Copies of this chain bind each other. A is one copy, B any other.
């Protein structure tokens, strides 16, 4: 798919806010106040599986997953990180990095498909995004 132009999937775009553009991935925050929930989307057209990425991009994806997971853990003080690449509904390759708290809305089950998203209160998403950008050392 080289040469094809990357465009963020419409559903991912509708469900998230942009946090930052990392070297490989767009970093997004899910519009769901129940959990601090980030999504990494490699800006590579036509990729569905991690295995579809070229070698270098797979290495870069792993680095960015770890950077984002460490930042999210620090900022959220979560009890557990959940990291996953599913893509059963939205096929564009994306990786979830979610901060879980014991007793949160879906605990101890997975967040995917559990109930309805709850909107962030005024300013809360911005505060979280600001803290994440500072921790990652990146601009908006």
Contact = CB atoms under 8 A, between A and B. Distances in A.
Interface of A: 48-51, 58-59, 62, 66, 69-70, 73, 80-89, 91, 100, 107-110, 112-113
B110 A110 contact: yes
Contact of A62 (B62, B82, B113): B62
Contact of A50 (B58, B83, B107): B83
Copies in the assembly, this chain:
2
A74 to B, nearest CB: 10
Given A51-B66, A112-B109, A80 B88 contact: yes
Contacts of A66: 50-51, 58
Binding site of A, secondary structure by majority: helix, strand, loop or mixed?
mixed
6 contacts: A48-B80, A51-B66, A80-B86, A84-B85, A109-B112, A110-B110
Contacts of A49: 69, 73, 80-81
A38 to B, nearest CB: 14
Nearest to A65: B50
